[in-house]
A and B are shown apart, each in its own frame.
Chain A
Amino acid sequence: MRLEARDLCAGYDAVPVLHGISLAVESGEIVAIVGRNGVGKTTLVKALMGVLPATGGQVLLDGVDVTRRPPSHRVRAGLRATYQERALFRELTVGDNLRLGGFAPSVHHQVLDKFPDSLSGRGTQRAGTLSGGEQKMLAAACAIVSAAPLILMDEPSEGLQPSNVDLLGRHIASAREHGSGVLLIEQHLALAERLADRFVVLEKGEVVEEGHAGDDHIHDRIAKRLVI
């Protein structure tokens, strides 16, 4: 499966944030989107998912224009997303969140046991009462276990303790091995550099740098962009 943005523009009310972004991600690869705060990374995920309507350009799934299709259509087509701020339905229980994620009760343990700080036995706990890190782990685990062809992950490592960041990295790499494509929005540069096959650097809602993991001095070029 291939997700493609062509000259994608989006924003909030009268404030444009994305100014003609073009990029693509395919099943079986990890594309890291990096950039400083406020450059439009989260907005990009929302626009690709259709939660935020595009004000220009196109979103294509396997060449089919889905720009005007609702998020639910994109999910059914094979897209899955985890968000930075609202990872779970906080008012619902952990078990309810898993049911909504499409997991039958018999496989809930597969998701809950994905991280060592196991959430097993907490199916009836309200998701909003989990710590921020636990909510992030659960959302990431849901996305990874779903084995969706394409997963958009917005800052999945934020709020996680270092050992769980490493484990998260291994799970994301494992998802790629199993054929999922991952668009990884990540501030944790070391994690992004360890995982990504390709990099896209954003600045002020535009793509300013692209490269492959094997390109000469790619990490220096990215670091330079982020420091300036």
Chain B
Amino acid sequence: MSRTTDTTWRRRLNALTLELLNGLSLFATLAIVALGLGITFGLMGVINLAHGEFIMVGAYVAFVVHEAGWSHWVSVPLAAGVLFVLGAVIEVILIRRIYRKPELTILATFGLSIVLRQLAELVFSKDFQSVPNPVPGATEALGVLFPTYRYILVAVALGTVVVTLLGFTRSKFGLVVRAIVADRDLAESAGIRTGVTNVLAFGLGAASAGVAGALVAPLGAVEPNLGLSYLPSAFLVVIVGGFSRLWGVLVGALVVAVVQTTLIHYYDAVWALIASLVLAVVMLQMRRSSVAGATA
């Protein structure tokens, strides 16, 4: 009898541990996927609908690195570099002309997302490509087997997120970016080179999307539409976490991960998605009320 009870508890504990690890993995993935959007949308006010495509390009960098026979880990900094340059170029030729014009930003970045997907199709075709898991196998922790690569993904993703957030919130560069967002004219009058700063900030936002792309590439198929599946999650995280503080990315990712993991466990993925969207709507409404209250 006691042996049966013991086994049942152990089974429950293992199931709970597995859910916690799945939740942790989802939290880290959401955080790294939303980090770039937190910078470009949350901090700079650019509604970047091409953020998913930046992730897609990062995933293709991982694919190219694999095809070249290099280690997958080369692709993480390489994707960051490639996307930094791509983001910087896009800021110079497109984004800087449409700051503070949300309608134009939506149209322009939507167009950009189509262009990037078409370019990916031209270069790599529509076919699904795969990047093999660089660390196959599972590691046992607390009596549960969990994919080793997921542990590494959690460490690299959260490490990247925390370092980036510290850089943006503690450094003079981050302060300068926040000053530009607060008042561009005053920032210029304070001697800040707003053009250069915006290029760097947008480039860093794109670079973090590149890191996200390289990290998620081994988790599924690499194809031109890969970014479309990540874009809603990224917006969800930024909306739930709040626009004004970059640390909100971590809060948003945590809340969304807990809600989704719990609902997927007890119900299904559809209810998890519905709950996440309701949460986003409620958060938007609360933010609007608090802004209205603050300005009243």
* Contact residue among A49, A72, A75, A99 (Cβ-Cβ distance under 8 Å from B172): A99
Contact B179 A92 (CB under 8 A): yes
Q: Does B186 contact A (CB under 8 A)?
A: yes
Q: Within 8 Å CB of A51, what residues of B? A: 185, 188-189
Taking CB atoms and an 8 Å cut-off, the chain B residues in 28-50 that contact chain A are: none
**Contact among A72, A101, A102 for B193, CB-based, below 8 A:** A72
Partner of A83, one of B172, B178, B186: B186
Would you give the shortest CB distance from B43 to chain A, in whole angstroms?
Answer: 12
Once the chains are docked, how many angstroms separate the CA of A49 from the CA of B176?
Answer: 19
User: Chain B residues with Cβ under 8 A from A92's Cβ?
Assistant: 175, 178-179, 182
A50 to B182, CA, bound (A): 19
- Interface residues in B178-228 (C-beta closer than 8 Å to A): 178-179, 182-183, 185-195
**Cα–Cα, bound, A86→B188 (Å):** 13
Q: Are A71 and B182 interface neighbours, CB within 8 A?
A: no
Within 8 A of B (CB), among A23-56: 49-51
Is A113 located at the chain interface by the 8 A CB criterion? no
- Given A89-B183, A91-B178, A92-B182, CB of A100 within 8 Å of CB of B189: no
Return chain B residues, CB-CB under 8 Å to A50. Answer: 188
Q: Which residues of A contact B191 (CB under 8 A)?
A: 71-72, 75-76, 102
| Residues on A with beta carbons closer than 8 Å to the beta carbon of B195 | 70
CB contact under 8 A between A72 and B176, given known A89-B183, A90-B182, A92-B182: no
Contact of A86 with B176 at beta-carbon distance under 8 Å, contacts A50-B188, A100-B190, A102-B191 already known: no
Say how far A178's CB is from chain B's closest CB, in angstroms: 20
In the complex, A134 Cα to B109 Cα: how many Å?
A: 42
CB pair A89 B189 closer than 8 Å: no
Can you list, as one digit per residue, whether each of A70-104 has a CB less than 8 Å from chain B (1) or not (0)? 11100110000101001011111000100111100
Q: Which residues of A contact B186 (CB under 8 A)?
A: 83, 86, 88-89
Residues of A within 8 Å of B183, CB to CB, are 86, 89-90
Complexed CA–CA distance, A118 and B179 (Å): 24
Measured as residues with beta carbon below 8 angstroms from the partner, the interface class of chain A is 20 to 34
Q: How far does the Cβ of A89 sit from chain B's closest Cβ, in whole Å? A: 5
Q: Is the CB of A100 within 8 A of B192?
A: yes
Chain B proximity of A44: nearest CB distance (Å) = 14
Bound CA span A99–B178, Å: 13
Separation of A102 and B188 alpha carbons in the complex (Å): 13
Contact, CB under 8 Å: B189 / A91: no
Inter-subunit contact B189/A75 (CB<8 Å)? yes
Q: Which residues of A contact B172 (CB under 8 A)?
A: 99
In this complex, what residue of B is CB-closest to A99?
B175
Would you give the shortest CB distance from A155 to chain B, in whole angstroms? 15
**Docked pose: A96 CA to B171 CA in angstroms:** 11
CB of A71 to closest CB in B, whole Å: 4
Q: Tell me whether B182 and A91 are in contact (CB under 8 A).
A: yes
Alpha-carbon distance between A102 and B179 when the two chains are bound, in angstroms: 13
How far is A10 from B164 in the complex, measured between Cα atoms in Å? 42
Residues of B within 8 A of A102 (CB): 191
Give Cα distance in the complex from A70 to B190, angstroms.
Answer: 11
Distance of A138 from chain B, by nearest CB (Å): 13
CA distance A91 to B189 in the complex (A): 17
Please list 24 pairs of residues, one from A and one from B, whose beta carbons are closer than 8 Å in the complex, sorted by A's number.
A49-B189, A51-B185, A51-B189, A70-B193, A72-B191, A72-B192, A75-B189, A76-B191, A81-B189, A83-B189, A86-B183, A88-B186, A89-B182, A89-B187, A90-B182, A90-B183, A91-B178, A92-B175, A92-B179, A96-B178, A96-B179, A100-B187, A100-B192, A101-B190
A-B contact sample (16 more), CB < 8 A, given A71-B189, A72-B192, A81-B189: A49-B189, A50-B188, A51-B185, A51-B189, A71-B188, A71-B191, A75-B189, A75-B191, A76-B191, A83-B186, A86-B185, A89-B183, A90-B182, A90-B183, A92-B179, A96-B179
For the complex of A and B, 10 pairs with smallest distance between CB atoms? A75-B191, A71-B188, A91-B182, A89-B182, A72-B193, A51-B185, A71-B189, A72-B191, A100-B190, A81-B189
